[in-house]
Amino acid sequence: MTAFPRLVARLGDVSALDDVLRAKFAQPGRVLGTVERVVTAALDTPGSADGLIRQELRDARYLHSRERRLVADAINDLLRYLPVLSGSVGKPGDVPAAWQQWLAQRGGGADVGAWLQTAAAALPAHEAVQLVGNVSEDLARALLESVDVDAFISESNSRADVILRVNRKRGSAEQLHKRLAMDGIITREATHAKDGLVVEGRPNLRGHRMYRDGWFEVQDEASQCLVDLVSGDGPVVDWCAGAGGKSLALASRFPKRPVFAFDVRSKALQELGKRAKRAGVSIRSGIHGQDAPNILRKLGTVSSVVVDAPCTGTGVWRRHPAYRLGVDGERIDGLVETQQRVLHDAAKWVAPGGQLVYATCSVLRAENEGAVAAFLERHPDFTQRSVRRWDVGETDGFFTADLVRQ
Ligand SMILES: C[S@@+](CC[C@H](N)C(=O)[O-])C[C@H]1O[C@@H](n2cnc3c(N)ncnc32)[C@H](O)[C@@H]1O
């Protein structure tokens, strides 16, 4: 008897997962119940599945921390490998073997992707990508046009390192490294990010005193490197600041340049306010369509405007496996349109000789090179100084373009 009647109704036979989890937990009942409830809810609301999963896991106080980690792994792997579990590819009899392999290799990175690729080899390319990546047909086609899909999916299904960004206002990476080591948290210098430290394992960082004292934030290397592109002087505008990842990095790197953070979400800006306070930096924020226009009018044009645009998030599946759900052609087109609108609005605030720095955490050409080309065609007073694509693997999938106004 499966413990997953609702998942079976949706997906067919998932007994392999059942077996895997029963073998892993001393008291499988509550764990299986949580996994089923959360995955079913995520599949019902694919557009907001990532937030829902995080909220559910935060609220699941009845789980011990080890159980919570395993539940998160199970949910994430379910979303990654649904086609295997539901027997959509390969012979149904192969499924438990794939999961045994997963179990045996868990921690070192399961190669179910390779298994899937073999099973899907007989299909047309986009159908194979649909199955291997567990994505819509439109997203499968967009990925095929944008990346080396085999490498992309296999990297995207692996586990990302946790990276810290040291807040220069508080001290140096070396000081932080030594201080964390005293509490048994081992870090090493990051490869690309000047202020980055790579953390060994998964210690509880947000509970650490150095975090509460604003010494660091958790931020991927490619995101941290966005500040390396920012040149000029005077105020910097972060047009899509969200909860402030880039604004805080800018304030840390350029202590003498005022940072202005805008977004459409007031709640995210409130969170930015809390983080800025912790970091000991001052960031002026405003909501687009409300107080932002007034602040911008007074500010006038500036030498650097950063647009970290809303996107599909296809570059960050390692950290957010649920981002793959609900991304169909309509969603991609909608985001591409929003990206043009946002770029157009932000460009007005770039002073002559100044820069518009565009970034996404997507790997799709339409949102990256395509977005830049469409913008430059409609804005002949801008030229492209540089573009950079960061592949999923060493860093998250990320894209940056430095566009200069004549
Ligand atoms: C990729 S996220 C930004 C992440 C943030 N920069 C960080 O580093 O944490 C994109 C942001 O764009 C915002 N956004 C969506 N539509 C927008 C619009 N029309 N104008 C400006 N920002 C928008 C979203 O609310 C979201 O916070």
352 and 405 Cβ atoms separated by less than 8 Å: yes
Whether 168 lines ligand 1, by a CB cut-off of 6 Å, is no
Domain identity same for 298 and 355: yes
Residue 146 inside a domain? The answer is no
Same domain, 239 and 190: no
Residue 147 lies in a domain: no
Same domain, 267 and 335: yes
Determine whether the shortest distance from the Cβ of 21 to ligand 1 is under 6 A: no
Residue 130 placed within a domain: no
| CATH (domain of 174) | 3.30.70.1170
Place of tokens 């960031």: 283
Handedness of CA 87, 90, 96, 102 (dihedral sign): negative
> What number is the average pLDDT over the span 156-163?
91
- What separation in angstroms does the CA of 406 have from each of 129, 349, 350, 376? 42, 13, 10, 12
Q: How far, in Å, from the CA of 321 to the mean position of ligand 1?
A: 20
CB atoms within 10 A of CB 383: 12
pLDDT higher than threshold 80 for residue 149: yes
What percent of the chain is predicted at pLDDT more than 70?
84
- Segment 125-136 mean pLDDT: 85
Residue finishing a domain among 172, 192, 218: 218
CATH of the domain at 337: 3.40.50.150
Distance CA 257, CA 39 (A): 45
Predicted TM-score (pTM) of this structure: 0.91
Q: Say yes or no: 174 and 258 in one domain.
A: no
The pLDDT-based confidence of 99 (bands split at 50, 70, 90) is: low
Confirm whether 272 is domain-assigned.
yes
Q: Per the structure, how many domains does the chain have?
A: 3
Q: What are 395's strand-pairing partners?
A: 392
Q: Do 326 and 371 lie in a common domain?
A: yes
Counting from 1 in the atom list of ligand 1, the atom nearest the Cα of 242 is 27
Asked whether the beta carbons of 136 and 169 are under 8 A apart, the reply is no
* 207-235 confidence digits (pLDDT tens): 999 999 999 999 999 999 999 999 999 99
Q: 125-133 and 137-146 are packed helices; what angle lies between their axes, rounded to 10 degrees?
A: 110
Residues 205 and 324 in one domain: no
| DSSP letter string, 172-199 | -HHHHHHHHHHTT--EEE-SS-TTEEEE
Atom of ligand 1 nearest to the CA of 249: 8
Within a domain: residue 152? no
Contacts of residue 236, Cβ cutoff 8 Å, sequence gap at least 6: 230, 250, 254, 257, 258, 259, 260, 302, 303, 304, 305, 306
pLDDT higher at 25 or 167 = 167
- Give the β-pairing of 283-287 and 302-308: unpaired
Q: How confident is the model at residue 404 (pLDDT cuts 50, 70, 90)?
A: very high
Does the Cβ of 241 fall within 6 Å of ligand 1? yes
Average pLDDT in the chain: 88
Q: Is 74 in the same domain as 176?
A: no
Measure 41 CA to ligand 1 centroid, in angstroms: 25
Let me know if residue 129 belongs to a domain: no
Distance 306 CA to ligand 1 centre (A): 11
Range of the domain at 92: 5-122
